[in-house]
Amino acid sequence: MGTADVEAVWRIESARIVAALTRFTGDFGLAEDAAQEAVAEALVSWPLASPANPGGWLMATARRRAIDAIRRRTALQDRYALLAAEPVVDEEIDPDRIDDDVLALMFVSCHPVLSPEARVALTLRVVGGLSSEEIAHAFLVPVPTVQARITRAKKTIAAAGVPFELPPAGERGERLGGVLSVLYVIFTEGSTATSGDRLLRPDVAYEAIRLARTLAALQPDEPEVHGLLALCELTAARFPARTGPDGSPILLEHQDRRRWDFSAIRRGLAALARASTRGLGPYGLQAAIAAAHASAPSVEATDWDRIVVLYEALGRIAPSPVVELNRAVAVAMASGPAQALAMVDELIASDRLANSYLVPTVRGELLARLGRRPEARAELELAARLCANQRERSVLLRKAAALS
């Protein structure tokens, strides 16, 4: 077996191994270290001799490394004695328990004591099974930065005494929201890279979808989990049409809708149906908006009135200036640019989206539609100056130039 084979087994097994070892040792940081040692050993020994049961091999090796580590900590003699007395439990992992343990692992990785960056790195590492190199590549940061974030996160969890358990009922909703927002951050990094020369990073978005599917399987009765999954699937369905052959972005109105991934749309609509059982939450509403686009044969044939209503609902339960801006765009499509421009100007007056390139982008588009070309051009040039993604920036500059 080669490196790619070891990585493949690791992708499948890592969350279960770290979860089981954390349960076993009561120490998340130690469990993660031991699991990493096991995979490092696998990378050396599997190419020479493949184990018959690779998953069991990793679990047994990680367990031995965990025991070694505990043995080195003389202060923990009592706990070691307890461990040594236990039989090897590799074949006896209770599937119901391991599900709860993997879920607990997600909650620990997304714990509010951690910085947002640390939550993302830790979730991808321990639940997603990605290496520090892969995480660094996904977020365009140096590898040592990712390693430092993970090390610090493990120390923070230990220092804060974060228990390895499902959050109590009273905190469950809020903590689940925390997990969902980490997955959403990962997804949006893949669907609109905040920096760099590529607009889309489907491999990063894929990790978020995979984690959202895992969460949906573990928490099937939580509508917002399905809402987030639906949002991710429906957004990713448009990826094949979102960039041209040279990597430049193609806006929704110009996308070749035949290139949309209809299997992903079908999965997204199915997830949305499961999210709709008790009224839609913020992710469900955004998914419903994405579904309105996914079901429309063209921009003109899109149900913009419905999209306006969905944005209004979203603005009520999750108010944000970005939602307001999107609502303005929908209003422009449903009722014309004049009314939308007034909404955008109101947003600017409230100074809630200062320095975002999105405001001048939308304002520039609206002014252009109203025939106010010099003003439109100035807005689009301002947007280009504020935009960090090179691909998007060049589109904005092209549009501005077309208005002269």
| 56 touching another protein, by CB under 8 A | no
Size of the site for another protein (CB under 8 A): 35
Q: Which of 68, 85, 77, 83 is nearest to 33 (CA)?
A: 68
| 76 touching another protein, by CB under 8 A | no
Q: State which residue, 229 or 328, has the beta carbon closest to another protein.
A: 229
8-state DSSP, 160? T
Burial of 254 (0-12, 13-18, 19+ CB in 10 A): exposed
Identity of the residue numbered 61: T
| 97 touching another protein, by CB under 8 A | no
| 54 touching another protein, by CB under 8 A | yes
Q: State which residue, 260 or 357, has the beta carbon closest to another protein.
A: 260
Q: State which residue, 244 or 319, has the beta carbon closest to another protein.
A: 244
Cβ(362)–Cβ(378) below 8 Å: no
Among 68, 86, 94, 203, binds another protein (CB under 8 A): 203
d(CA 185, CA 172): 20
Q: State which residue, 239 or 311, has the beta carbon closest to another protein.
A: 239
d(CA 261, CA 69): 48
Could you tell me the maximum CA-CA distance found in the chain, to the nearest angstrom?
Answer: 80
Tally Cβ neighbours within 10 Å of residue 98.
16
Identity of the residue numbered 196: G
Among 32, 189, 224, 261, binds another protein (CB under 8 A): 261
Minimum CB separation of residue 200 from another protein in Å reads 9
d(CA 318, CA 312): 10
Binding mask 226-255 for another protein (x = CB under 8 A): -------------xx---xx----------
| 297 touching another protein, by CB under 8 A | yes
Binding site for another protein (CB under 8 A): 4-5, 7-9, 11-12, 54, 99, 102, 202-203, 206, 209-214, 217-218, 239-240, 244-245, 256-261, 263, 267, 297-298
